[in-house]
Amino acid sequence: MNEDEAKAWIADRYGACAVDRLAIFAGMVEQESERQNLISAATIPLIWSRHIVDSAQLLPLASSNFGAWADIGTGAGFPGLVVGAITENEVVLVEPRKRRVEFLQSAIDMLQLRNTTVEWTKAERVRMSAGVISARAVSQIDALLTSTHHLANRDTVWILPKGRNSHEEVAQANRSWHGMFHVEQSVTDPTSFIVIASGIARR
């Protein structure tokens, strides 16, 4: 998927207004990346495919009435801020690094995202009930379930972008957790996958 295809992917599913809003956000990420290491410099020319569509593709994997979405270790806002920009549901960005929190708040303000908030803390200290929990490049699935299970209710779904080792991570998580694990192919990269977990309980 090239950059034009990525913008068309967003436009087809979420409309021209979403493209305009996300273009502002992409510009903010690129500018801020000169001051702090938000994303790899090599991926800045590919921000629409590598980061924006890679984030937006998670939304259709959630139910339409998922309630609140918690994005753990959101970093530059991927996937959480992108989700907040294309849905009206509540989105909570959880990020322990102060400078990134400051950037995320400025992006929320610039885009006027009334549904999106950011918490300067670690996942273990968050107190909320989340219908969806996402995390991108934060930790392995087993550790992530451990740090976020207190946020879950019986209907919670974890939607986790992963690399080529996703099946191995699922097998490891299955040793400690009951539940349903499903692996989807990413639309942006043939070597990337998305792990969807539901009905999770500790063995």
- Per-residue pLDDT reduced to its tens digit, 23-82: 999 999 999 998 998 988 899 999 999 999 999 999 999 987 888 999 999 999 999 999
pLDDT digit string (tens) for 156-194?
999 999 988 888 999 999 999 999 999 999 999 888 999
21 among the known binding-site residues? no
* pLDDT tens readout for residues 109-141: 999 999 999 999 999 999 999 999 999 977 899
Longest dimension (CA), the chain: 46
Looking at CATH, the fold of the domain delimited by 61-202 is given as Rossmann fold (3.40.50)
Whether residue 23 is annotated as binding a ligand: the answer is no
Q: What is the pLDDT of residues 71-85, one digit of tens each?
A: 999 999 999 999 999
Residue extents of the structural domains in the chain: 61-202
Structure tokens at 83: 């989700």
**Is 136 one of the annotated binding-site residues?**
yes
* Residue 70, H or E segment: strand 68-72
H helix runs in the chain, sequence order = 3-14, 16-32, 47, 54-56, 80-86, 98-111, 141-148, 166-174
